[in-house]
Amino acid sequence: MTPGPRQASGETTSRVTVDRDRCCGAGNCVVTAPEVFDQDDTDGLVLLRDPTPGGALLDRVQRAADLCPAGAIRID
Amino acid sequence: MTQTTETELPHWPPVNPARSPFALIDDAERQPLAERAVTRVQLPTGATAWLVTRHTEVRQLLRHPGFSSDLLRPGFPLLRPLPPDVTSNSQGAFIRMDGAAHLRLRRMLTAEFMIKNVQRIEPLIHQTVADALADLAAAGSPADLVSTFALPLPSKVICHLLGVPYADHDFFQSRSRLLLDRRAPAEQFQHAAQELREYLRSLIDAKRARPDDADDLLSRLIRERVEPGELDVDELGGMALLLLIAGHETTANMLGLSVLLLTRHREQWAILRDRPDLAPGLVDELLRYLSIVRNGLFRLATEDVEIGGRLIRAGEGAIALLSLANRDPGVFDDPDEFDPYRQAHQHLAFGFGVHQCIGQPLARAELRMALVELARRFPDLRVAADPQELSTRDTSIVFGLDALPVTW
């Protein structure tokens, strides 16, 4: 994955954004990275729990973005 | 779509049955398809379409907004001619819709099938598995695993979730099976579709006539969507039809094939029993390897799109071949080997794009719990037939076994 912007601390971080208009509620992201993604109880669409997940989670966040059938997850 | 080349094109679906239930496609017919990412094929209707066979390109096709799922559009690639009354019978069939119309209906269901809710109903699935295991034990060795376990289990679960009486299972199972058979005579197909629609409509009418606080999906959608005027009752009927068929045929066929495969890999049968924590990964590999939707997913290009170096023009048909994408050597090492320890999560067995299977958390939970409990209860389960001898559903949209004789 492409590294995110450098922070003052020197640690790389990434910003995750989700597009609820594109989301089709398949739930792959919640299975793959439940620390970062959730589904809304009312409509089943994606909810972002953590927009700046730490390094240990990034592999799984990237996998969630790859698996998203609707292309609703972006990592910058 | 020129006439001159049609006789030279490969046929799709394949003409010959595969040599075993695990082979996906006849070897000779698979070979030319494996040579390129996109191949022009001839359909039984005489029309042509582009068959897309690799992982990257299948994903690209299914996620691209320039392809429609609406089989009423002129030029849509079909396996059989459309019945004359299809327009009046397609309400609520969101699997065949595009864009906002599709999302409107799908989003009424997404929360129902999300993983949190499936986890909540795990006790129900567990009890249903236990009941099915007791039925299998009571049937005695030898028994048919399909009719005594694989088919009743998901049928009971989806009936419970939807609020459809399981007592009617012979009726809806036989009609569902007919609707999935692409060789079923047109008259029988239409009749079965009409019977199922009428059945579900009368079930919905009965629920509306006796409003209660029942917690099944149809009752909830009636209260929350139909009565406030958000959802037409015929749309609900179409949605119910789709969920009922997809909710039992797919998992049932996966279960039968999975048991056939796993009882040939005895060490895996033992691991299921002793290490249920490994079952989720095993289920993903089963989904990849068995790929039961073997005819592919059909789309119509609504704009010119380049896929795998081919320009697919607006008005041309394209087929996303999930099964061969799941055996793409560029993504899966030794793709024709069953390997429960591989990372199979990239498989496309549930499809891809906005139509990806809405019931996948339910299917995964059913498969995992059913296989683990089956291996625990019947550690010595054996299949009493050679795989090549078993009768398979080669002309069904959902591949599977007609029966699976087992002993223990």
The predicted-structure confidence for B106-129, as pLDDT tens digits, reads as follows 999 999 999 999 999 999 999 999
Strands B317-320 and B38-42: unpaired
Please check whether residue A40 touches B, CB under 8 A.
Answer: yes
Q: Which chain A residues have a beta carbon less than 8 Å from that of B358?
A: 24-26
- Look at residue B88 in the predicted model and tell me its pLDDT: 64
Least confidently predicted of A44-53, B1-10, B191-200, B374-383:
B1-10
Q: Report the alpha-carbon distance of residue B297 to residue B37 in Å, rounded.
A: 16
Selecting from B103, B107, B354 the residue whose C-beta is nearest the C-beta of A69 gives: B354
Please give, rounded to a whole number of angstroms, the shortest distance from the CA of A75 to a CA of chain B.
18
> pLDDT tier at A3 (50, 70, 90 boundaries)?
very low
Q: What CA–CA distances, in Å, run from B96 to A71, B110, B298, B398?
A: 20, 17, 10, 17
H or E, element range at B27: helix B27-34
Q: Verify whether the Cβ–Cβ distance B110 to A70 is below 8 Å.
A: no
Q: What's the fold here for domain B6-407?
A: Cytochrome p450 (1.10.630)
- pLDDT at residue A33 greater than cutoff 70: yes
Question: What is chain A's mean pLDDT, rounded?
Answer: 87
pLDDT digit string (tens) for B342-364? 999 999 999 999 999 999 999 99
CB A24 within 8 A of CB B356: yes
Of residues B212 and B45, the one with the higher pLDDT is B45
pLDDT average, residue stretch A19-43? 95
Architecture of domain A20-75: 2-Layer Sandwich (3.30)
Within 13 Å and on the Cβ side, how many CA atoms surround B407? 3
The two structure tokens encoding residue B96: 């065949």
Q: DSSP string of chain A?
A: ----PBPTTS-B---EEE-TTT-----HHHHH-TTTEEE-TTT--EEES-SS--GGGHHHHHHHHHH-TT--EEE-
User: What angle separates helix B360-377 from helix B266-274, to the nearest 10 degrees?
Assistant: 100
Q: Verify whether the Cβ–Cβ distance A31 to B111 is below 8 Å.
A: no
Q: Verify whether the Cβ–Cβ distance A32 to B345 is below 8 Å.
A: yes
- Name the residue ranges covered by the structural domains of chain A: 20-75
Q: Which chain A residues have a beta carbon less than 8 Å from that of B355?
A: 24, 69
Candidates B64, B102, B110, partner chain A, best to mutate (most A CBs within 10 A): B110
A1 closest CA partner among A19, A10, A9, A13:
A13
Selecting from B113, B115, B357 the residue whose C-beta is nearest the C-beta of A31 gives: B115
- Look at residue B84 in the predicted model and tell me its pLDDT: 75
- Look at residue A12 in the predicted model and tell me its pLDDT: 64
Provide the β-strand partners of residue A37: A48
For residue B8, the SS3 value is helix
pLDDT digit string (tens) for B190-239? 999 999 999 999 999 999 999 888 999 999 999 999 999 999 999 999 99
